[in-house]
Amino acid sequence: MTLALIPLLPLLGALIPSLFRSRNLNALSAGAIAGISMLLLLLQAPAVFNGEMPLASWSWIPAIGLNFAFRVSGFGFMFAFLILGIGLLIVLYARFYISADDPMGRFYSYLLLFMGSMLGIVLSENIMLLMMFWELTSISSFLLIGFWSYRTDAREGARQALVITGGGGLAMIAGFLLLGHIVGSFELTTILAAKEIIHAHHLYPITLILILLGAFTKSAQFPFQFWLPHAMAAPTPVSAYLHSATMVKAGVFLLALLFPVLSGSSLWFYIVTPVGLITFMFAAYMAMFKDDLKGLLAYSTVSHLGLITLLLGLGSPLAAFTAVFHILNHATFKAGLFMLAGIIDHETGTRDMKRLSGLWKYMPITGTLTMIGSASMAGVPLFNGFLSKEMFLAETLEPNLFGAFSWIVPLGATLAAIFAVAYSIRMVHDVFFKEPFTNLPKKPHEPPHGMRLPAEILMTLCVLVGLFPMTLAAPMVNMAAGSILGAATPDYHIAIWHGLNMALAMSVIALAGGAVFYLQRLRLFDSHRWCMRYCDGKATFEALIRGLVQGGRTLTGLMENGSLQRYIALLVGAVFVLGASPFFGSSVPFIGPLAMSSVDPVTLIMGLVLIVCTVATVVNHRNRILSIIMLGSVGLIVSLSFIRFSAPDLALTQISVEVVTIILLMMALHLLPRTTPVESSSVRRGRDIGLSVLAGGGAAALMLAVLSRPYDTIAGYFLENSKPGGGGTNVVNVILVDFRGFDTLGEITVLVIAGLVIYAMLHNFELTAPGIDALGRPWVQDRFPMILAQITRPLMPLALLFAAYIFLRGHNEPGGGFIAGLIVASVLILQYISSGIVWTRPRLTVDNHIIMAWGLVIAVLTGVGSWVIGYPFLTTSFTYLTWPLVGKFEVASAIAFDLGVFLAVVGSVMLILVKLGSMNSKDAEIVSASVQKAKEKKEGAH
Amino acid sequence: MIVVEILVSFFLIIGAFFALAGSIGLFRLQDFFTRLHGPTKATTLGVGSMAIASAIYFSFLKEGLSLHEVLITLFLFITAPVSAHFLAKAARHQRLHEDKDHPET
């Protein structure tokens, strides 16, 4: 359990920092949560360092192979350690960085959410679970990048990051599903053991490409690199976190994780190596020309990610080992450098290197730290970056699949290393030296110590690891690489001095070349500006998105032009085509073998009346009142036919729905003219008649085809299990509240939402009913006739009693919460109609939306209640009680669920009808004014 | 038992007669207000008699005392006059009684 808590704690505790007002408490609570997670992780350390892999697994949705399973592999441990360690430093740093104007609690909430999702990725055992966390990082990084949501660049950057990484995520889901399909399991342990099966499978190439797409987009590899620099609109702590240890490393994490099974083919090499090499060079080149400190670091990050990808692409065990080591080193110096860039920005008011200069006099400590970081980034000896870069350069010299062109790799690597040295020098020299600054927004000074402390810790680590690699870094790297490579782990001795060899020569060339490059930078800037006019990733992206939106609009305009007739015609036409298509070209006889049953006169007459009423509705549709009456008759005959075929529940429901619908229609149509002119052209009417005849005839034919065949329905199962399984003899009701309870829950949720939406739509909607009827006569003055009002009032308790009766018998005989709800709603509406809102509203003290909400709450709680007693969600349990006088009777938890249904129905129906009926009425204004007054009086009394 | 059956038949026939009479009246009578008599007879006397027949039948020949029908009758007797009253009220408002030229409206 403690294992699963490592990622879950930050996720579940994400809201906690938002609960406090004090900024210190915000940071403290976030730090505490991350700290506990860290402790839990360290508890796993002894086992992991022993070479074990702790596993914790719970079955979640076994039907799709999704398990709630976590593991701590050596590599996962290293990553989790980085995420939490740097995360803790970021928490401290952000406390000083985020200004008092920004909502700090929210920032920490997003940060924890992100931290938890990242931990989930690196600790998941099930790749479907991993995918969920993967998507969560896309969403939470969107929130983090767009934290300053009032800024256009932040919003654009966040959207771009989401689109690119989210799109890659989609490809990856497909890749994972294929991988699971090939292996037959989504468990990593099984997958990692199935290298031969995967490589031999014919779906291997497409699987590989899809997964690589996901990893490359996340890790900002060429050609998806452009989102990362634009994500720099985020607050600096976010950049420091996302772009050093976490978000973008998720891509290379995944590459390394699946390295044992996916690598080793030529396809892997030919995709991953060039992408890594191009990214490495291109981004290093771009970084040189960025004036923005964070922009420089962003491209440098992309470049280093390219380096790691390149290493993984080379495919040798030592290359993978080096990749792991470089992940660790890069996270350390890059997080620190981002923090330092943030400090410079914070204390001077700008991060533009054209304006910054000569800060050494004012910020010597920050300057020293920046120098350490830059030296590490450039690969200067005695710093940690040097070690892994040296190993990398040595690795590029190995012969590879490019054959005669193998020299491309070391050449490209050296070039990129030259650029890296140049931009590192620029970062230090431009900012801290050169001539004294002239126009800075603020007078620079050293930051508060708490803000500098995280960077100090990280830079100290850079130096110490650089000096004593075997003591400090080797155990962790060996363990992490060991968990990826298994028996193939190279026994490598990390050392500063490997003797005079080719790699050292390349390092020296890089250092010297970088220095020369930096000195010649002005000339380079000119050529770069010319080049950049033609290739800007962001402009291409924006143009692409604009095109997509335009295309979407055109398509929507074609389909959805505001004509309801067209929507329905398209819909019905599509249904007809889809329904009819299987019958064309099929040799199976249309009508099945069952003989027709004889026609009895009652059914025949009912059918004929139904047809007459339907046709009459259509013919009279321009006279609205008449067509409503016809429609009502249709509904009543349908409910009679339900009775004819022994479905009393349906008949009861149909009748009550009919009543409510007619009232609704009357109210709505009251606001419209009573007759409508002929608007459609004759062609269109012809089309509509044709379509409806086709669709209606098609439905009838389909019925004929189905009913004339012997078939076995699931009805038998329900009939058999209704009493023993659900404890009720009314099968319809047991299906609603038990067998298909989850569906019902969904349905009442939809009902409630629909009620709210209609309410919101009608609110402040100006539409006044005409004051006269079609013949110019005014409405009658006596709006609430005495006889009606006096009769409906005593009717109310009777109807409520009837509803209670219908509700209580529902589980065993026709009835139930839905019907009872409709009966109550109609009798309450009757009061409104007969006595008016002024009389009725003050007497119904509970608000309809509250009734509705309680209905939903009760229904959900009933479902949750089953969990408490150890059953799946919404399982009905029932028992028999014996009371004196009443006798033995059954109590089922389903009745509580049914109560929820009942309340939701009453609330939403009332909400809609009362709102519709009181639209723009003067009475409603009087009522709301008096309610307001009563409220004020009450408050005054307190 | 035969007495019960005779009773049931009697009420059924009475009910059917009034339903038929009401329907014919609705169809045949001259103007709106006289026509209004038809359906009210059908709902009160017609359906009422049938409800009594049903109550007798189920009480004596089936599972035991059946009082649903009393409720049905009660609801009918409460609601039928109200709807008739409404129809008449609407007709008066629309001045149908003054419109001698078009009695069919």
Give A100-146 pLDDT, tens digit per residue: 888 888 889 999 999 999 999 999 999 999 999 999 999 998 999 88
Q: Are strands A887-892 and A878-883 parallel, antiparallel or unpaired?
A: antiparallel
Is the CB of residue A774 less than 8 Å away from at least one CB of chain B? no
Q: How far is CA A455 from CA A71, A77, A345, in A?
A: 31, 23, 15
Q: CA-to-CA distance for A825 and A819, rounded, in angstroms?
A: 10
Q: Position A263: which residue type?
A: S
pLDDT at A941: 65
Chain B, residues 74-103, CB within 8 A of chain A, namely: 75, 78-79, 81-82, 85-86, 89-90, 93-94
Peptide bond into A223 cis (omega under 30): yes
Q: Position A656: which residue type?
A: S
Q: How far is CA A107 from CA A6, A230, A490, A694, in A?
A: 20, 19, 43, 59
pLDDT at A918: 81
The torsion of the CA quartet A798, A799, A801, A802, rounded to 10 degrees, works out to 120
pLDDT at A823: 93
In chain B, what is the straight-line distance between the N-terminal and C-terminal CA atoms, in Å? 51
Contact A734, A726 (CB under 8 A): yes
- Search chain B and give the residue with CA nearest A773: B94
**A791/B79 Cβ within 8 A:** yes
pLDDT at B104: 47
pLDDT at A881: 67
Is the CB of residue A801 less than 8 Å away from at least one CB of chain B? no
ipTM of the complex: 0.83
Q: CA-to-CA distance for A741 and A893, rounded, in angstroms?
A: 12
Cβ contacts below 8 Å, chain A against chain B, sum to 20
How many other C-beta atoms can be found within 10 angstroms of the C-beta atom of residue A432?
Answer: 22
Taking 3-state DSSP, the helix, strand and coil percentages for chain B, each rounded to the nearest 5, stand at 80, 0, 20
Rg (CA), chain A: 36
Q: CA-to-CA distance for A164 and A174, rounded, in angstroms?
A: 16
Q: CA-to-CA distance for A525 and A738, rounded, in angstroms?
A: 72
Sign of CA dihedral A489, A490, A495, A500: negative
What is the residue-level pLDDT of chain B in tens, covering all 105 positions? 788 899 999 999 999 999 999 999 988 888 888 888 888 888 888 888 999 898 888 888 877 777 878 888 888 888 888 888 888 888 888 776 665 555 444
Question: Which of B85, B87, B99 would best serve as a mutation to test chain A binding (most A beta carbons within 10 A)?
Answer: B85
Which of B75, B82, B94 comes nearest A788 by C-beta?
A: B82
Contact A225, A281 (CB under 8 A): no
Q: CA-to-CA distance for A781 and A266, rounded, in angstroms?
A: 89
pLDDT at A749: 93
Tokens read off for A669: 């149509």
**B89/A791 Cβ within 8 A:** no
pLDDT at A717: 82
Q: Chain B closest CA to A795's CA: distance in Å?
A: 8
- Search chain A and give the residue with CA nearest B95: A777
Q: CA-to-CA distance for A345 and A349, rounded, in angstroms?
A: 5
pLDDT at A210: 93
Q: Taking the complete model, does pTM exceed 0.80, yes or no?
A: no
User: pLDDT (tens digit, 9 = 90+) per residue, A590-649?
Assistant: 787 888 888 889 889 999 999 999 999 888 888 888 888 899 999 999 999 998 888 888
Is the CB of residue A798 less than 8 Å away from at least one CB of chain B? yes
Task: Give the orientation angle of helix A293-314 with respect to helix A247-257, to 10 degrees.
Answer: 0
Contact A579, A698 (CB under 8 A): yes
**Residues of A with CB below 8 A from B78's CB?**
791, 795
DSSP track, A170-184: HHHHHHHHHHHHHHT
Tokens read off for A485: 């490579």
Q: Chain A closest CA to B54's CA: distance in Å?
A: 17
Q: CA-to-CA distance for A794 and A456, rounded, in angstroms?
A: 82
Domain boundaries, chain A: 522-558, 561-580+591-711, 730-773+782-942
**B90/A795 Cβ within 8 A:** no
Residues of chain A with pLDDT under 70: 1, 400-401, 522, 526-538, 674, 774, 874, 876-881, 883-891, 920, 941-942
Question: Which of B72, B76, B78, B96 would best serve as a mutation to test chain A binding (most A beta carbons within 10 A)?
Answer: B78
**Residues of B with CB below 8 A from A787's CB?**
81-82, 85
Domain boundaries, chain B: 2-97
Residue A887 dihedral angles phi and psi, to the nearest 5°? 95, -165
Is the CB of residue B105 less than 8 Å away from at least one CB of chain A? no
pLDDT at A535: 59
pLDDT at A942: 60
**B85/A787 Cβ within 8 A:** yes
Mean of all residue pLDDT scores within chain A: 85
Q: How far is CA A917 from CA A524, A561, A751, A913, B58, in A?
A: 74, 30, 19, 6, 43
pLDDT at B18: 92
